[in-house]
Amino acid sequence: MGWPRVFPGPLLILGDVTALPPLEAPLRRFEEALSELVQSDVLFIRLIHQDLVTAGGKRIRPRLVFLASRALGGAPFELELALAVELLHSATLLHDDLIDDAETRRGKEAAFRRYGNAVSVLSGDFLLSRLLHVIAKTGRIELVERFAQVAKTLAEGEVLQFQVAALEDYSLENYERIITAKTAVLMELAAEGPALLKGEPEEVRQALSRFGLLYGQAFQMRDDYLDLMGSPEALGKPVGGDVREGKATLITLLLMERFPEVREILRRKGREPGDLERLRALAQESGVAAEVEGRIRERALLAAKALGPLPPSPYKEALEALALAEARRLA
Amino acid sequence: MGWPRVFPGPLLILGDVTALPPLEAPLRRFEEALSELVQSDVLFIRLIHQDLVTAGGKRIRPRLVFLASRALGGAPFELELALAVELLHSATLLHDDLIDDAETRRGKEAAFRRYGNAVSVLSGDFLLSRLLHVIAKTGRIELVERFAQVAKTLAEGEVLQFQVAALEDYSLENYERIITAKTAVLMELAAEGPALLKGEPEEVRQALSRFGLLYGQAFQMRDDYLDLMGSPEALGKPVGGDVREGKATLITLLLMERFPEVREILRRKGREPGDLERLRALAQESGVAAEVEGRIRERALLAAKALGPLPPSPYKEALEALALAEARRLA
């Protein structure tokens, strides 16, 4: 690999993502390729994409692909895989704006508010067509099938989340299924994909698969935690979005077991003055917030541990650090 | 082929679709496979699919696949291709309900009115994931790429239609692009696909491709004609849907050239009493309705003629009949 070990292990154990190995070059190629891929001569598609795709994001899924690929010494078609996972994620965001009724997404006015739901949905479909195109470019039909599985699970997870809110069918079991389906399976494919494309031994593929799944779960658990307990300034959006959509997350599910009023607050979608403040106070005072933080840390540690079978490398350490950072991510 | 020629040619020239060769067996297998493919343990997905997918439709695209395949003496993966084209079409309908604000679709209450836009969009995404799955089953990466092209053009066409209505950018050129992109390219793939899968000579593939494209254009032109000039009873839905969405079609475009008031009616989306009646009367009295019918007939004839290079067979005749029927379709 030849990568100088300039950052100490203990720092990484604490999850210092600023010490990741540099991915500037692949990420620059990624941005260029993405911009080219989503070109269209239809004006309204270009406008949507300026909002969502080319304005960037954290590019967590492409980073996962590049790190996993490099932890294996480089996999073929890593760029195509990185593009494909990000396109699926971006399309989901565009189809999600309707669902979440999100007032802001990545700190900007949600696309659909400016051009209507229709254009958002169809621009998402356009991204999905480009996803098909990049996976076709790999010539690997088994990758098409893996994306088919992930896209199916993802859509089912999103619908289930809607269904659970509509039927007030709150349970920890449903929560686990939803975070796995709507977030973790795509992270799993991002991490496992390079092993698949490189034809790595089953043990290595499974290690990356397990890492991606557990990391994805920790990531979504952290997102959900911040949605209620985070700071609006750090997040760049108001807190309590999930409550306003009647969506139960780990904190509200655990609170519900102890305080019947929490179910009422969720039922009325936090519409009464002081509802959100009450939930935040209950979570702090009861120790539920700390308990959830503990569970996130636990999941992140399991993710890092799953990488055991991989040979040591700064990229492996970076993957570990990425997972462990979920224990204290603020935005 | 061994198929008895029980129906006379002249009848078919008039476009008698009741005289098509029987496709009962493949269509039954199609319905069974489709039902199986869209199974989900998520209740809300099942509800949507009962509405749209399993309640059926005319299955025009699968019919095209089966007829084209049999006109070539049978192509591999015809069932998978038929499923894939119908899944893409059905997903578009689900994503279209938002756009069209359609009060009825196939004579039923549009799915989103009962379960919300979110579930419609995500159930459409679920169908797209199943499309990926069936094309992966063929093992043919070139089919993945063809679907990528078609899905891209389709999404662009749908967004363009929205954009043209929003910007009042009415022109015959935009109209041709929209009907080609949102309808004809998928019909083209349905007709051309079997030749692609069978590895037919370029001449045969191009004949079917051209047929599908022209037939698809004639089909959409007829749909648009009926949207204004048809009978609500035959259609099972109110007329004037396009006008209410500010969408110009061939009739309104041609009327606009002669009657400035038509642009005004479209701008106010036919909201004033008597608007739709006025458009219908103008179309009849000015001869524009007849002119549009003539153009549809012309396009349908071109479609039928395109099949020239195919060997004679009842399936080829059935394809011709399907196209010619557009000249007088009422629903």
ipTM: 0.89
Phi, psi of B104 (to 5 degrees): -135, 150
> What is the reported pLDDT for A245?
87
Identify whether residues A96 and A163 lie together within a single domain.
no
Q: Could you read off the pLDDT of A61-106 as tens digits, one per residue?
A: 999 999 999 999 999 999 999 999 999 999 998 887 664 444 434 4
Report the largest interatomic distance among the alpha carbons of chain A, rounded to a whole angstrom: 59
Q: What's the CATH code of the domain at A264?
A: 1.10.600.10
Give the integer Cα–Cα distance in Å for A163 and A93: 19
Q: Does some domain include residue A212?
A: yes
Q: Is residue A213 part of a domain?
A: yes
The pLDDT score that the predictor gives to residue A199 is 97
Say whether both A102 and A172 belong to one domain. no
Residue at A295 is within a domain: yes
**Residue B110 DSSP SS3:** coil
Residues in chain B: 331
Mean pLDDT value across residues A225-240: 94
Residue B235: how many other CB atoms lie within 10 Å: 17
10 Å CB burial of residue B199 (0-12, 13-18, 19+) is exposed
Tokens of B237: 């839905």
Q: Which of B92, B84, B118, B126 is nearest to A152 (CA)?
A: B126
Helix (H) or strand (E) holding B65, with range, is helix B60-71
Q: How far B68 CA lies from chain A's nearest CA (Å)?
A: 25
Query: Which pLDDT score is estimated for B137?
Result: 97
Q: How far apart are the first and last CA of chain A?
A: 32
In this structure, the answer to whether residues A316 and A260 fall within a common structural domain is: yes
Q: Does residue A133 carry a pLDDT above 80?
A: yes
Same domain for A133 and A39: yes
In the predicted structure, residue A20 carries a pLDDT above the cut 70: no
Is B25 part of a structural domain of the chain?
yes
Distance CA A189, CA A212 (A): 7
| Domain residue limits at A272 | 141-185+199-331
Nearest to A122 among B42, B45, B155 (CB): B155
Residue B217 confidence (pLDDT) = 98
- A92 and A170 part of one domain: no
- For testing the chain A interface, which of B159, B164, B174, B247 should be mutated: the one with the most A CBs within 10 Å? B159
Nearest Cα to Cα of residue B71 among B209, B216, B191: B191
- For the record, the structure tokens of B139 come out as 């093992």
pLDDT at A243: 96
Burial (CB < 10 A; 0-12, 13-18, 19+), residue A311, is exposed
Per-residue pLDDT tens digits for B247-304? 999 999 999 999 999 999 999 999 999 999 999 999 999 999 999 999 999 999 999 9
Q: Is B172 inside a domain boundary?
A: yes
pLDDT average, residue stretch A296-317: 97
Task: Report residue B263 as tokens.
Answer: 């642009």
CB-closest option in B42, B121, B141 to A141: B141
Going by C-alpha positions, the residue among A243, A329, A320 that lies closest to residue A293 is A329
Whether A167 has a pLDDT exceeding 50, the answer reads yes
**Quick one: pLDDT at residue A316?**
97
Q: How many domains does chain A have?
A: 2
pLDDT-based confidence at A190, cuts 50/70/90? very high
User: Does residue A43 sit in the same domain as residue A112?
Assistant: yes
Cβ separation B148–A159 shorter than 8 A: no
Query: Which residues have CB under 8 Å from B100's CB, separation 6+?
Result: B241, B245
pLDDT at A222: 98
Distance from CA of B187 to the nearest CA of A (A): 17
All residues of chain A having their beta carbon less than 8 Å from the beta carbon of residue B144 are 132, 135-136, 141, 144
- Cβ contact B39:B54 at 8 Å: no
Let me know if A286 is exposed, middle or buried by CB neighbors in 10 A (0-12, 13-18, 19+). Answer: middle
Which of A120, A139, A158 is the endpoint of a domain? A139
Segment A28-48 mean pLDDT: 91
CB atoms within 10 A of CB B286: 15
Nearest-neighbour CA in chain B from A328: distance (Å): 32
Question: pLDDT per position in chain B (331 positions), as tens?
Answer: 333 333 333 334 444 555 567 799 999 999 999 999 999 999 988 887 776 666 668 899 999 999 999 999 999 999 999 999 999 999 998 887 664 444 434 444 544 445 578 788 999 999 999 999 999 999 999 999 999 999 999 999 999 998 898 889 999 999 999 999 999 999 999 999 999 999 999 999 999 999 999 999 999 999 999 999 999 999 998 999 999 989 999 999 999 999 999 999 999 999 999 999 999 999 999 999 999 999 999 999 999 999 999 999 999 999 999 999 999 998 8
Q: What is the pLDDT of residues B192-204, one digit of tens each?
A: 999 999 999 999 9
pLDDT of residue A52: 65
Q: Are residues A128 and A38 in the same domain?
A: yes
Q: Look at A118 and B99 and tell me if their CB atoms are within 8 Å.
A: yes
Residue A194 lies in a domain: no
CA distance A80 to chain B (A): 14
Q: Note whether residue A100 is domain-resident.
A: yes
Whether A159 and A123 share a structural domain? no
Q: Is residue B256 part of a domain?
A: no
Q: Coil, helix or strand for B108?
A: strand
Closest CA to A187 of A233, A234, A219, A141: A219
Whether residues A239 and A177 share a domain: the answer is: yes
CA distance A208 to A303: 9
Contact B129 A148 (CB under 8 A): yes
Q: Phi, psi at residue A107, to the nearest 5°? A: 75, 5
- Same-domain pairing of A163 and A284: yes
Residues B136, A152: C-beta atoms closer than 8 Å: no
pLDDT of residue A258: 96
Report residue A32's pLDDT band, with 50, 70 and 90 as the boundaries. Answer: very high
Q: Does A290 share its domain with A219?
A: yes
Under DSSP, the state recorded for A116 is -
pLDDT at A104: 38
Residues A84 and A159 in one domain: no
* Cβ neighbourhood burial of B289 (10 Å; 0-12, 13-18, 19+): buried
- Say what the pLDDT of residue B19 is: 55
Q: How many residues in total does chain A contain? A: 331
